Amino acid sequence: MHPSKCITMSETKTTKLPQLKSSVTPYRPKPSLIHSNSPKLENDKRNGLDLELGDNPETPSLKRVRWAPMYGERSACRSSFDSFPLESKNTQFDQASSEELILANELRLAVHRGGGSIDPEKNCELRARLSPLQLPYSRVQRILKECELSERNQHTYCIPMDYGRQLVAMICKIRTENLPDVKLRLASLLRQNKARFFNRHLFNETGLIEATLPSKTPLSFDEFNQTLRTDALWCKATDSAITDLGKGSVLFKCRPLDLQEVTYKLRQCNYKIINKEVGHCPNKPLVDLNDRQMARYQEFRKTLLQDIDVVKIYDNVRVQ
């Protein structure tokens, strides 16, 4: 070997080698999450990093529940109450409240069909139902207050009807908050009985007053009729009729605007007012029905009155 080409180990350590590019990827640390201050990003898009947590966050408190047995008298654990069988509780509640629930429903129906008033002096339906009532006074007042709140959105409508292909004319008094719904509900019944909502202008609005004349001495029909006509003339009533001679029940008719005045004068004549309202009376002669037609019409009328929103029905049928 040539002496100039001999290189010792000491010389190799001091010789600068050229810089080599590594073929492997150098180690890089994992990037850390950075808090974003951008106001455009929502909380859920920031992975919850914008929530500022305290240094000593409170540990959630655990609520321990002590389970009490459903049956039996008192359990081994010290509970604060005694548990009774469920069957005995339900039985006592049903026996105590079943009659009250029935009476409460009847009161609500009486308020609804009587015009929505909770005053017995203005609502004859409610007055007739309250007379034999045996509920506590506080319970009755609470039910009546609930009825008054539920009746605020109710309205009264007088819908003319035609039954049996113009055989009978009717006025159906309906109290509801949704009249189209009531008409749709009654459509099937009307179709089956050849009836429809149709106005033939056969009724006039009239003030109707039902009253009784308490008399100590019994009067004959002629005497009672003469007394009735005299009182009707003085009270400005347009017509009067005897509905029940034995009970002394009478019916007065007047103009709708004179209803309050006629009622006041009848009370001065010692008449006991049972009911007063603005109703409808036929302006044409009454219709006579045979036995078969009357039976079918009464069945239709009864079914129609079973609807909760149908309050009263006026017709032009002569009572047999």
| Token duo for residue 251 | 């019916």
Q: How far is CA 284 from CA 113, 205, 208, 297, in A?
A: 28, 13, 18, 19
Contacts 24+ apart (CB under 8 A), 61-64: none
Contacts of residue 31, Cβ cutoff 8 Å, sequence gap at least 6: none
Residue 209 has pLDDT above 70, yes or no: yes
Residue 277 has pLDDT above 80, yes or no: yes
Under DSSP, the state recorded for 185 is: H
Q: Given this model, what pLDDT does residue 168 score?
A: 96
Pairing of strands 249-254, 239-244: antiparallel
Q: Given this model, what pLDDT does residue 141 score?
A: 81
Q: Which residue has the tokens 């609005």?
A: 205
> 205 or 32: whose pLDDT is higher?
205
Q: Given this model, what pLDDT does residue 148 score?
A: 80
> 200 or 108: whose pLDDT is higher?
200
Q: How far apart are CA 317 and CA 285, in angstroms?
A: 9
Q: How far apart are CA 209 and CA 238, in angstroms?
A: 11
Q: Given this model, what pLDDT does residue 95 score?
A: 42
Element (H, E) at 97: helix 86-113
Alpha-carbon dihedral angle through residues 97, 102, 105, 107, given to the nearest 10 degrees = -100
**Cβ(76)–Cβ(83) under 8 Å?**
no
- Report the length, in residues, of the chain: 320
Q: Given this model, what pLDDT does residue 216 score?
A: 64
For residues 70-86, give the mean pLDDT. Answer: 41
> 214 or 184: whose pLDDT is higher?
184
Q: Which residue has the tokens 């408190």?
A: 61
Q: Given this model, what pLDDT does residue 290 score?
A: 94
For residues 234-242, give the mean pLDDT. Answer: 93
What is the pTM assigned to this prediction? Answer: 0.60
Least confident of 7-21, 95-109, 293-307: 7-21
Burial 186-217 (b: 16+ CB within 10 A, else e): beeebeebebeeeeeebbeebbbbbbebeeee
Q: Residue 257: what residue type?
A: L
pLDDT confidence bin for 31, thresholds 50/70/90: low
- 114, HSE (Cβ side, Cα atoms, 13 Å): 26
Mean pLDDT of the chain: 76
Q: Given this model, what pLDDT does residue 28 score?
A: 61
| Token duo for residue 192 | 């089956």
> 194 or 152: whose pLDDT is higher?
194
Element (H, E) at 274: strand 272-282
For residues 9-17, give the mean pLDDT. Answer: 51
Q: Given this model, what pLDDT does residue 259 score?
A: 93
Gyration radius of the chain over CA positions: 44
**Cβ(317)–Cβ(203) under 8 Å?**
no
pLDDT confidence bin for 41, thresholds 50/70/90: very low
Q: Given this model, what pLDDT does residue 282 score?
A: 94
